[in-house]
Each structure stands twice: as structure tokens, then as C-alpha cells.
Amino acid sequence: MSKNTSHKRLLSSEKKTILVTGANGQLGMTFRKHEKDYQDLNFVFMDAKALDIKNQKAVDRVFEQVKPDYCINCAAYTNVEKAEKEPEKAFLVNAVAVEFLAMACKAQSCILIHISTDYVFDGEKTTPYTTTDTPNPINVYGASKLQGEHNIKKFLSQYFIIRTSWLYSREFGKNFYRTILQKAQTEKELHIVDNQAGCPTDAENLKGYILDLIMNRSDNYGIHHFSDKEVMSWYDFAKLILEENNIQNTILIKNNSYKTKAKRPVYSVLG
Ligand SMILES: NC(=O)C1=CN([C@@H]2O[C@H](COP(=O)(O)OP(=O)(O)OC[C@H]3O[C@@H](n4cnc5c(N)ncnc54)[C@H](OP(=O)(O)O)[C@@H]3O)[C@@H](O)[C@H]2O)C=CC1
Ligand SMILES: Cc1cn([C@H]2C[C@H](O)[C@@H](COP(=O)(O)OP(=O)(O)O[C@H]3O[C@@H](C)C(=O)[C@@H](O)[C@H]3O)O2)c(=O)[nH]c1=O
């Protein structure tokens, strides 16, 4: 194999098995899309139907059968607004079920790669949050994700918790990028908040970061922060989305009174 494709080769010849949970979500689908690019990895994709991570017996059974070397947990309760009304559901998926995964990983000596969020922070800082900053979530979703992090740390030493922010895929799932395009089809004016700063992150880049950890056999376990680098507001992001798609007849209006149930951090840049 030539040198310029070597990043897609494992450092050792052993083929690793990667279990991807929540495989029908935007990040899960992004991994699926690239399965063929990684011939040295044996992917097992399980969507919510194939494996409900809330079902501990099912989790244990799948881990016993698949014997994964890595589990990339893309399963999550991600509806920030709805979580305010149904916190038990959010905690069940984002915290309790994550503990089931951690226990199964422990039993099978599997490395857990779990995705967490900038919403574990309260947004009171004005400089990028580092991995040593103390989380202090201000909404139910963030609190449930933080509890998930704690539950992993209780059981495992070989884990990666990767906090990312404002994740979007142009192709898959429900996300701000696709919501704006959808709204632009039916609404002349879009009212978008300008009072939160963060870094939109392309799911393609997060996928690359995670698979590099595996391909390079990283043992830099613990909490990682990964996001794309451009800091902006949701309004700025909406503007970029419309520009990228050459949409000129939609009027964007800065409107910080856009009503939401959940509070969001005012600043959630990850450093
Ligand atoms: N989206 C974002 O902006 C950000 C996301 N993250 C984190 O990144 C990760 C991936 O998010 P993303 O791909 O955007 O999320 P999605 O909501 O697109 O995907 C989550 C997937 O998990 C599935 N799921 C829900 N409950 C269960 C369950 N009990 N068992 C198995 N699968 C389940 C969902 O299935 P179904 O739809 O059928 O319920 C869905 O397919 C999550 O951990 C999220 O918290 C972090 C920062 C930003
Ligand atoms: C759709 C829309 C949203 N907004 C505002 C509401 C909110 O403050 C902000 C973002 O809106 P959304 O609800 O789409 O995004 P939200 O669900 O808050 O996105 C978050 O999702 C979770 C899963 C994460 O982990 C976070 O990193 C983050 O990406 O934009 C408007 O002002 N106008 C609009 O038309």
C-alpha cells in the first residue's frame, strides 16, 4: 500500500471489530457511509431496532456474540427541547443505558468510544472550555449526558468520551443545517438567535477523528474535545447554510426572543 493511503491502515495487521450503536442517527449513518473506506475494520452496525441500549440483557447478548474491540456509541436521546418535558426518558438513554454499555465493555474488554456534548457546560466562560473545566449543565439533555460520562468513568479505564458541539450532517438526520434548508423552502423570513456562540461540527470530521483514534491505536484515554474550529452564532451559521446552498430569497432576521423551553449555554466553544 502506498504511503498516502497509510492512514487508513491499522498499525497492526489484526482486523478490529467495531460495534456502532444508534446506527441510524446522523453520526451513525456517517460511519455507515464510509464503511468501505476502512477495509481493515469490521463494522457491525446496530440501529435502535436491532439493539435497544436500554435493554441490558440485549446489550450483554450482543456484546457476547459480536465480541467488539471497540464500541462507538452513537445512540442517544438528542431532542434538547423535549428532554425538558421528559427527563426520565433522556436519562434512561443518555445515562442508564450508557452504564449498561460500560458494563458490557468491561466484561468483554472492549474500548468504549462515547460521544458527549458542549451542553455539559453552563456557558459562563468567555474562553474555550478545556477538558479540565468543571461541567455545570443548564438543561436536562446536558445533565443526562454528563451523568452518562460519570457512569462510564465508574466502570472503565479504557474509554474515550468525545465531547463535540453543534453537530450537523448535510445528508443525514435532523440537525440545524437541514432544518434551516427545510424552513427556507416554506418560510420567507427566518428568525434566528444571535446570542449563543459555538462551533458547528461536520459529522464527517468527527467520524474522521474517531476512526483515526482507532486506526492509530490511540491509548490517550479519557475526555477529548473535538469540534470544527470556526466560532459563530446560530444566526451566522444559518447565513452560511443559505450561502452554501445559493438561497437568496430567504430573509434572515436576528431574533433573540425565539422561544425555546430549554436554556442553552451562551458560549460553548470547546478547546
Ligand atoms: N446532534 C448534535 O448537535 C450533537 C450530538 N452530540 C452527541 O453525538 C451523538 C450522536 O448524535 P446524533 O447522531 O446527532 O443523534 P441522532 O439523534 O441523529 O441519533 C441518535 C440515534 O440514537 C438512536 N437511539 C435512541 N434511543 C436509542 C436506544 N435506546 N437504543 C438504541 N438507539 C437509540 C436514535 O434512534 P431513533 O431515532 O429510532 O430513536 C437515533 O438513530 C449523541 O451522543 C449526541 O448526544 C453531541 C454534540 C452535538
Ligand atoms: C430552528 C431554529 C432554531 N433557533 C435557535 C434555537 C436554539 O437556541 C438554537 C439551536 O437550535 P436547535 O434546537 O436546532 O439546536 P439544539 O438542539 O440546541 O442543538 C444542540 O443539539 C444537541 C444534541 C447538542 O449536543 C448541541 O451541541 C447542539 O447542537 O437556534 C432559532 O433561533 N430559529 C430557528 O428557526
Domains of the chain (ranges, CATH numbers) = 3-173+201-229 (3.40.50.720)
Distances from the Cα of 51 to the Cα of 75, 102, 166, angstroms: 10, 15, 26
Nearest CA to ligand 1 atom 18: 25
Q: Residue 47 pLDDT > 70, yes or no?
A: yes
Ramachandran area for residue 246 (φ above 0: left; ψ -120 to 50: alpha; else beta): left
pLDDT at 7: 47
At residue 19, the pLDDT reads: 98
Of residues 141, 159, 168, 177, which has the active-site annotation? Answer: 141
**How much is the average pLDDT of 174-192?**
98
Cβ of 75 below 6 Å from ligand 1: yes
What is the residue type of 223? I
pLDDT at res. 23: 98
The CA distance from 135 to 129, in Å, is 9
Q: What is the pLDDT of residue 12?
A: 56
User: Percent of the chain scored above 70 by pLDDT?
Assistant: 95
> Over the chain, what is the mean pLDDT?
95
Cα 134 to Cα 223: distance, rounded to the nearest angstrom: 12
Q: Is the CB of 148 under 6 A from ligand 1?
A: no
Residue 167: φ, ψ to 5°: -70, 135
Q: 105: pLDDT confidence band, cut at 50, 70 and 90?
A: very high
Q: Which ligand sits nearest to residue 121's alpha carbon? A: 2
pLDDT, position 48 = 98
**In the predicted model, is pLDDT for residue 241 greater than 70?**
yes
Mutate which of 260, 266, 269 for ligand 2? The one with the most ligand atoms within 8 Å of its CB, which is 260
Per-residue pLDDT reduced to its tens digit, 123-177: 999 999 999 999 999 999 999 999 999 999 999 999 999 999 999 999 999 999 9
Give residue 14's pLDDT. Answer: 79
* pLDDT category of residue 10 using cuts at 50, 70 and 90: low
Mean pLDDT of the 239-251 span = 97
Q: Is the CB of 116 under 6 A from ligand 2?
A: no
Tell me, in angstroms, the distance from the centre of ligand 1 to residue 256's CA: 27
Q: Does 141 participate in catalysis according to the annotation?
A: yes
Identify the pLDDT of residue 5.
41
ipTM confidence score: 0.99
More confident residue, 15 or 53: 53
CB of residue 268 inside a 6 A radius of ligand 1: no
Of the CA atoms within 13 Å of residue 43, those in its CB half-sphere come to: 22
Confidence band (pLDDT; 50, 70, 90) for 13? low
Q: How confident is the model at residue 104 (pLDDT cuts 50, 70, 90)?
A: very high
pLDDT at 11: 53
97 Cα–ligand 2 center, Å: 24
Rounded to whole angstroms, the Cα distance separating 258 from 10 reads 48
CB of residue 226 inside a 6 A radius of ligand 2: no
- Res. 109: pLDDT tops 80: yes
Ligand 1 center from residue 22 Cα (angstroms): 6
The response to whether residue 201 sits with its C-beta less than 6 Å from ligand 1 reads no
Number of H helices, E strands in the chain: 9, 12
pTM here?
A: 0.96
